[in-house]
Chain A
C-alpha cells in the first residue's frame, strides 16, 4: 500500500508540492473573500486544510526517503525538523477547520458573531495557516522573523473577532508584548548575520546568502564567540516571548483564553512550536560555533522556570481555558528543557513531546469550548457533571486531561518518561528532580479541577446531550491519535523523529 503511494508521489516534483502548499491557504483566503455565503466559506476552508494535509503527507514521504529538500537557489530548505513542524501545522489546522464549522456555527446561531465576522474569521484562519506554513520551510532567517511577526499580527486579528472588553484587552497585551519580544529576536538574528559576515580585517560587506541558515551553519566555526553568545541570549528572549517561555509568558494565558476556541487550539498546539523552531535553529548554529553547553544551559534554565511558574499557576486558576493555557506554558517548558538536556533520547523525547502536546492540547481546548458553550461559562466552579450532561465529550475531556498530566497508557506518558529517564541518566539529576516535583504539583492541580468538573451534579438545570456531531468527529480523531501514539509509534514517524534528533547530534 505504502509502496503504491510513494511511487505515485515520485511523479509530482517537490517544487510543485512546496509551492502549492504555500499557495493553497492564500487561495482559500481569496475564495472566501469572493464567496461570502456561510456554507461555501466553511466548505472552502475545510477543503483547503484537507489539501494541505495531503500535500504534507507527500512531502513527508519525500523527506523520510531523501532527508532534505532545497529549492530555488536554497530559498526553501526543508529537513526532518521542519517536516515535524509542518506535520503539526497541517494536522492541527485540519482538525480545527472541521471543529470551526461546529463551534462558529453555534456562535452564529446564538448571535454572538454575524455574517461579516464569520467571513473575517475564516479569512483570518486561512491567512494564519499561510503565515505559519512559511516559518518551517524558509531558509532565510530574516524572512523567518518576518513570517513569525506576521503570525502575531494575524492572530491578533483573530483574537479580536469578538468586540468585547476582555478580548480587546488581551489582544492589545498580546500585540505589544509579542512585538517587543520579536524585536529582540530580530536583534539576535542581525547579530548572528553580523557574526557571519564579520571579518576583523576587512570592512563589512553585506552578502545575501549569508543570512541563510544553511550558510550560517557551515560557517559557524569561524564566528566570533562573543557575538554569538550575545546573539543567542537575544534570540532566546525574543522567540521565547512568542513561544510562551516564562518569565515572558504573561501574554499567553490572556490571548489563549479570550480567542475563539479553534484559534486557541492552533495558538497553543502549533504557534508556540513555530516560535520554538526559531530558537532551535539558532541553538544549532550556536552549538556549532561555541559548543552546545552555553545554549543548553540557557534552555534548561528557561525551561525549568517555565514549568515551575506554570505548575503553581495551574493550582490557582478559576477559568478553564486559562488553566489549559498555563498547561501549554508547562509543556513548552518541558520541551525546551529536554532540548537543553541534549542527549539523543532526550531530543527524541522532546520532539515526541512536541507532537503529543500538539495532539492533546487541541483536544482539551475543543472539549472545553463545547463545555463552555453548554454551560455558558468558563468559570470552573460553575461547571459540574460534564460526564452526565455530555457523555461523549465528557469522556474525551477526561481522556485528554489524564493524558496531559502524563498518565499511562496515553501518549504524553511516553515522551515525559523518555525525557525524565534521559535526564536522570545524564548529569542533569538536579534539574530532573526539580522537574518531577513540578510535575507532581501540576498533576494535583489539574486532576482536582478535572474531577470536580467531570463528576457531580450540575448546579443549574442543563439539558443533556451533545452539541453537534462534527465537533465529536474532530475530537474523536485526536483521541484515536492519543491512544495509538501511547501504544506504539508508526515506523515512518519514528524514522522522521530519529532523523530530526540526529540533526542535533551532527553539530
Chain B
C-alpha cells in the first residue's frame, strides 16, 4: 500500500494532462500537451515496472518515451509545417470546448464507476490506473467526434492509443514484449500514413469543408436524366 499515494498522484497528473488536450484549439498546442501526457504516461509505466519488478516494462517505458514523446510529435510538426493555418486551428467545433470539458469530467466519473463493477481484488496498479485508462479511451473518442478538422482525429487517436497502452499494462502487468513491439510498430506506421494523408489533404483540398462534403452530391449532380 505504500505506493498508493504515488499512483493516485500520477493518475491525477495524467488526467490533468488529458484535459489540457481537450481545451486547446490549436494543433501545435495539442502536440505540446500530448508530449506532456506521454511523459507522464512513461513515468507511470516505469513505476509499474518498478512495482512488478519486470525489465520488459522498463523497456516499454523507454520505447513509449522515445517513440511517442519525441518521434511522433516531430513527424506531426514536420508534415503540418506547410499546410494552411485553417487546417490546423479549430474555430467551430461540433461540440464546443466548454461543453466537451464538462462531458470529459462526466466521462472520468463514469469510468471510475464502471471499473468498480469488475472485481479486481487486491491489485493496487489495476485499481488506481484502470479507471484512468478507460477515461482516456472515452475522452479520445469524444475528441474525435466533437471536432471539425481532420487533424483532430489524429489527436483523438493518439489519446485513445495512450489509453489503450495504459489499459493493457494496468490490467495484465505487461503482455509479452513481442506483442508490445508489434503494437508500437503499428502505431508508428499508422501515424506516418496519416501524416502522408494529411499532407495530401493539405494540397488536394482547397477548402477545409471539402473533406466533410457528401460525396454523392459531388459526383452525380451533372447527370442528365
Contact = CB atoms under 8 A, between A and B. Distances in A.
B175 A190 contact: yes
A183 interface: yes
A164 to B, nearest CB: 7
Interface stretch (B67-75, B87-95, B105-113, B116-124): B116-124
Given A186-B168, A204-B172, 10 more contacts: A142-B179, A142-B182, A149-B186, A168-B205, A175-B194, A179-B190, A187-B137, A187-B167, A194-B171, A318-B216
B208 interface: no
Interface residues on B, range: 35 or more
A193 B175 CA distance: 9
12 contacts: A142-B182, A143-B178, A149-B186, A149-B190, A163-B204, A165-B205, A165-B210, A190-B167, A190-B172, A226-B118, A227-B118, A254-B215
B174 interface: yes
Nearest to B205: A165
Contacts of A146: 179, 182-183, 185-186
B193 interface: yes
A165 B168 CA distance: 37
Contacts of B210: 165
A206 B123 CA distance: 13
A171 interface: yes
A160 B197 contact: yes
A150 interface: yes
A297 interface: no
A379 interface: yes
Given A146-B182, A153-B186, A208-B176, A200 B121 contact: yes
A351 interface: no
Interface residues of A, number: 48
A165 B204 contact: yes
Interface stretch (B37-45, B78-86, B217-225): B217-225
Contact of B223 (A186, A200, A208, A381): A381
B119 A187 contact: no
A199 to B, nearest CB: 9
Interface string B31-74: 00000000000000000000000100000000000000000000
Interface in B156-215: 157, 160-161, 164, 167-168, 171-176, 178-179, 182-183, 185-186, 189-190, 193-194, 196-197, 200-201, 204-205, 210-211, 215
Contacts of B128: none
A156 interface: yes
B123 A204 contact: yes
A175 B175 contact: no
Interface string A193-213: 110010010011110100100
Contacts of B19: none
Interface string A147-191: 001100100110010011110110110011001100100110011
A74 interface: no
Contacts of B182: 142-143, 146
Contacts, number: 122
A45 interface: no
B193 A319 contact: no
A191 B197 CA distance: 33
Contact of A187 (B164, B183, B201): B164
A160 B199 CA distance: 12
Contacts of B164: 183, 186-187
Contacts of A379: 219-220, 223
B2 to A, nearest CB: 16
Nearest to A197: B172
B17 interface: no
Given A164-B204, A187-B167, A319-B219, A153 B190 contact: yes
Nearest to B197: A172
B173 to A, nearest CB: 5
Nearest to A146: B182
A145 B211 CA distance: 30
B173 A204 contact: yes
B201 A172 contact: yes
B15 interface: no
B135 interface: no
Nearest to B222: A379
A140 interface: yes
A95 B128 CA distance: 53
Contact of A169 (B171, B175, B215): B215
B126 A153 contact: no
A194 B211 contact: no
Interface string A261-300: 0000000000000000000000000000000000000000
Nearest to B184: A146
B170 to A, nearest CB: 10
A171 B197 CA distance: 8
Contacts of B179: 140, 142-143, 145-146, 211
A168 B175 contact: no
Contacts of B220: 318, 379
B197 A206 contact: no
Nearest to B180: A142
A254 B137 CA distance: 26
A186 B180 CA distance: 12
A169 B193 contact: no
A166 B161 CA distance: 27
Contact of B172 (A149, A172, A193): A193
B174 A175 contact: no
B11 interface: no
A168 B197 contact: yes
Contacts of B101: none
B97 interface: no
Given A150-B186, A203-B123, A318-B220, A190 B205 contact: no
Given A142-B175, A194-B172, A197-B172, A166 B215 contact: yes
A149 B141 CA distance: 18
